[in-house]
């Protein structure tokens, strides 16, 4: 009889995060509770209190302090974790630059939630995407299994390239949804993710400084190295994803393509929306429609090359953004267009903003978007989906119409 190395358990996304952190044998946790992330902190505190996880749990008074404590722990070489959401992530912003700039391989779970006001606790990616220029890698999970797996993968990648990783899971849609998750035996995970030996760390007998002064003759080179690490990370994410597939039977990459062969219309999505999109697209495929699904799993480093290759042959692309850069467009839409600009032949690209603040996204929405984008040969940068009347169709009184014309 072989010893089982995996057990199927019904877990919420928040519970899957905690199981992943426990399996990664994290040594220091500093976190502050916030809806819908709170159960991660509660579960980890229980694990530490019961002795299941030999970690130091540092109670802090804010998210900014949480990340400051993580900086210190990672600087002495500890495997370090925190979790937050939305407003809490926004409060961490300054420390996100500090930890990435100091090249500390911290892993954070961010439960995606809309920013206030108006007050909202529901799913939205603008919280994480607002942090995209801090130097943190960003992964977005589709399922609770991927949440657990991504925590393990994040440490494997971060500790190789010395950059922190933010693992994102949609508020409520994953964080509070219970579904079967394979939880691996610790000894199996130890083979995949051995102890971390930090190449640079603070030690009493060996003084160093993290985050010292860099004069104008040096700062630029530090940014160059950060960018080089990001570029290297794209390959390392693919390598570690392939190694994970050997260890656990499930592979992960930068971009997940499905039903793409011969696809004329391609939907690009991020996070849990991909599952609903798969249901709708599989139905359209059964009706003979040539539609494909491209899920962007990693937003930083942004998979420019993989996106260009995947979209060769497509006629039109609908990019679905659960986020908005006010005054611009959906953020993935803008980045996909920038990736395609250098292509000699490129598809038309339309951007749909939907699901903000947890608005339900249903298979009928996906089917509706496919029908809509197939009517827009030239592409349209910002289409509000599911708001009732799109702004262009809101009736304008006759006297105003004359003034506007």
Is 279 a residue that touches other proteins (CB under 8 A)? Answer: yes
- Structure token pair of residue 365: 């929405």
Q: Which of the ranges 65-73, 246-254, 269-277, 292-300 carries the binding residues for other proteins, by CB under 8 A?
A: 269-277
Binding test (CB under 8 A) with other proteins, winner from 282, 382, 384, 386:
282
**Rounded-to-integer distance, Cα 169 and Cα 400, Å:** 44
Q: Which of the ranges 169-177, 215-223, 305-313, 391-399 carries the binding residues for other proteins, by CB under 8 A?
A: 169-177
Q: Which of the ranges 126-134, 195-203, 359-367, 380-388 carries the binding residues for other proteins, by CB under 8 A?
A: 359-367
Task: Return the biggest CA–CA distance within the chain.
Answer: 82
Residue list 21-40, contact with other proteins (CB under 8 A)? 35
Is 295 a residue that touches other proteins (CB under 8 A)? Answer: no
Handedness of CA 11, 15, 20, 23 (dihedral sign): negative
- Total interface residues for other proteins by CB under 8 A: 25
Residue 384: phi and psi, rounded to 5, are: -80, 125
Residue 305, phi-psi category: left (phi > 0), alpha (psi -120 to 50), beta (remainder): alpha
Question: Which of 280, 345, 356, 371 is CA-nearest to residue 322?
Answer: 356
To which residue do tokens 């989906």 refer?
A: 385
Distance in Å, CB of 144 to other proteins, minimum: 10
Is 10 a residue that touches other proteins (CB under 8 A)? Answer: yes
Is 116 a residue that touches other proteins (CB under 8 A)? Answer: no
Q: Which of the ranges 95-103, 165-173, 257-265, 300-308 carries the binding residues for other proteins, by CB under 8 A?
A: 165-173
Q: Is 84 within 8 Å of 92 (Cβ atoms)?
A: yes
To which residue do tokens 């949804």 refer?
A: 177
Question: Which DSSP symbol is given to 64?
Answer: H
Distance in Å, CB of 289 to other proteins, minimum: 17
Is 273 a residue that touches other proteins (CB under 8 A)? Answer: yes
Q: Is 56 within 8 Å of 5 (Cβ atoms)?
A: no
Binding residues (CB under 8 A) for other proteins: these are 8, 10, 35, 121-122, 171-173, 176-180, 272-273, 275-276, 278-279, 282, 358, 360-363
């Amino acid at each position: 009889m072989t010893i089982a190395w995996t057990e199927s358990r019904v877990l919420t996304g928040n519970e899957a995060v905690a199981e992943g952190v426990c399996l990664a044998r994290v040594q220091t946790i500093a976190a502050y509770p916030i809806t819908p992330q709170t159960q991660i902190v509660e579960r980890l505190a229980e694990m530490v209190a019961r002795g299941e996880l030999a970690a130091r749990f540092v109670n802090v008074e804010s998210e900014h302090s949480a990340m400051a404590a993580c900086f210190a722990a990672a600087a002495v070489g500890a495997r370090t974790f925190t979790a937050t959401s939305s407003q809490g992530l926004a409060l961490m912003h300054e420390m996100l630059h500090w930890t990435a700039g100091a090249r500390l391989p911290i892993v954070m779970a961010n439960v995606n939630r809309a920013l206030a006001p108006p007050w909202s606790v529901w799913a939205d990616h603008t919280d994480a995407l607002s942090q995209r220029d801090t130097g943190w890698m960003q992964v977005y999970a589709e399922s609770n299994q991927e949440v657990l797996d991504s925590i393990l993968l994040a440490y494997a990648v971060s500790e190789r390239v010395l950059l922190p990783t933010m693992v994102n899971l949609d508020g409520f849609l994953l964080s509070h949804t219970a579904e079967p998750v394979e939880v691996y035996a610790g000894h199996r995970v130890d083979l995949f993710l051995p102890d971390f030996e930090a190449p640079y760390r603070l030690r009493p007998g060996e003084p160093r400084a993290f985050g010292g002064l860099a004069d104008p003759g040096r700062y630029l080179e530090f940014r160059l190295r950060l960018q080089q690490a990001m570029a290297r990370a794209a390959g390392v994410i693919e390598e570690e994803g392939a190694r994970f597939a050997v260890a656990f039977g499930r592979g992960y990459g930068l971009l997940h393509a499905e039903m793409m062969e011969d696809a004329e219309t391609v939907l690009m999505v991020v996070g849990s929306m991909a599952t609903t999109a798969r249901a709708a697209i599989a139905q359209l495929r059964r009706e003979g429609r040539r539609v494909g699904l491209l899920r962007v799993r990693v937003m930083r480093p942004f998979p420019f090359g993989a996106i260009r290759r995947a979209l060769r042959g497509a006629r039109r692309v609908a990019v679905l953004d659960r986020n908005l850069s006010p005054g611009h467009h959906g953020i993935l839409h803008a980045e996909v267009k920038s990736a395609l600009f250098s292509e000699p032949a490129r598809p038309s690209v339309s951007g749909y903003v939907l699901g903000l603040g947890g608005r339900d996204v249903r298979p009928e929405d996906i089917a509706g978007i496919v029908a809509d984008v197939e009517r827009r040969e030239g592409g349209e940068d910002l289409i509000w989906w599911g708001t009732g009347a799109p702004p262009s169709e809101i009736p304008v009184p006759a006297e105003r119409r004359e003034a506007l014309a």
